[in-house]
Amino acid sequence: MKNLKATVIDWIEHRTGLESAIKNFLYEDIPASSGWHQVFGSVALFLFLLQAFTGVLLSFNYAPTPGEAYNSLKFIITELTGGRLIRGLHHWGASLMIVVVVLHMTQVFVYGAYKKPREATWLVGVVLLILTLGFGLTGYLLPWDNRAYWGTIVTTQIASKAPLVGPYVTRLLGGEGTIGVVTFARFFSLHVLLLPAATAMLIVLHVYLVRKHGVCPSPLDRETTKKFFPEQVFKDTMAIFAAFIIL
């Protein structure tokens, strides 16, 4: 049995390099000051994956048209097996993701991770925060109830007041005159097509930059290090578990 397992692992390693990649990831050197205060990045990544997963499940029964959106959501909540749980995870997960991303950026700022040579990592993180807020904004309209409708009217009116580009942003969002089919279609397309693809690519870039420059140590750290596995992996896993239990 052991020989078979070793043979399979060797076959995968020689053709994909997966075993070496996993070992390099798990046994990366990180600052000795790393701890519970640096779990927010992993939790944010988990919440994004959870949003993607529950979003796909919702899309199987959601009708993306103004005439049927509310009724399809009502069907998901009241009649679909596990529908209320899936919708609840997606709804509250959006809010929790924003909170966690803000906490992550606050911790990064306090530790000075925006300084040389991590400027690009910080800028990508800022864009990811904006995209996270964009998810919340575009998803708010999709239930197509009274709160979503009037909330979107307020949003488009605020956007129209932006200096110089206000009218163009309003036209882009389909918010000229009234909120209708065009607005719904554009918000839906942004929410399920453009924003997920852009966010996934930037997350990959963000993780690459973090790996390239390393985790930023505490200002009081004396350049001592430890391995990412098992201590920090355990803390990240427990934080992810806690976030899921909260949801």
Helix (H, G, I), strand (E, B) or coil at 225: strand
DSSP 8-state secondary structure symbol assigned to residue 30: E
Q: What percent of the chain has pLDDT over 70?
A: 98
Distance, CA of 112 to CA of 215 (rounded, Å): 11
Classify 112 in phi/psi space as left (phi over 0), alpha (psi -120 to 50) or beta: left
Q: What's the DSSP call for residue 34? A: -
Average pLDDT over residues 58-68: 94
What pLDDT, on a 0 to 100 scale, did the predictor assign at position 200? 97
Residue positions counted in the chain: 247
Alpha helices in the chain (DSSP H): 2-16, 18-26, 40-59, 69-78, 83-110, 119-141, 146-160, 166-172, 181-189, 195-213, 233-246
Instruction: Determine contact, residues 142/191, Cβ cutoff 8 Å.
Output: yes
Check residue 222 and give its pLDDT: 65
What does the pLDDT average to over 219-235?
Answer: 85
Which helix (DSSP H) or strand (DSSP E) does residue 228 occupy? none
What are the pLDDT digits (tens) for 146-184?
999 999 989 888 888 889 898 898 888 887 767 889 999
**Secondary structure class of 192 (helix, strand, coil):** helix
Contacts of 196 (CB under 8 A, 6+ apart): 52, 55
Tokens describing residue 13: 């390693």
Of 39-53, 72-86, 145-159, 229-243, minimum mean pLDDT range: 145-159
pLDDT at 5: 82
Query: Band of the pLDDT at 21, cuts 50, 70, 90?
Result: confident
The average confidence (pLDDT) of the chain is 92
Predicted pLDDT at 58: 97
Q: Is the pLDDT of residue 111 over 80?
A: yes
Q: Is 51 exposed, middle or buried (0-12, 13-18, 19+ CB in 10 A)?
A: buried
130 CB-contact burial (10 Å; exposed 0-12 / middle 13-18 / buried 19+): exposed
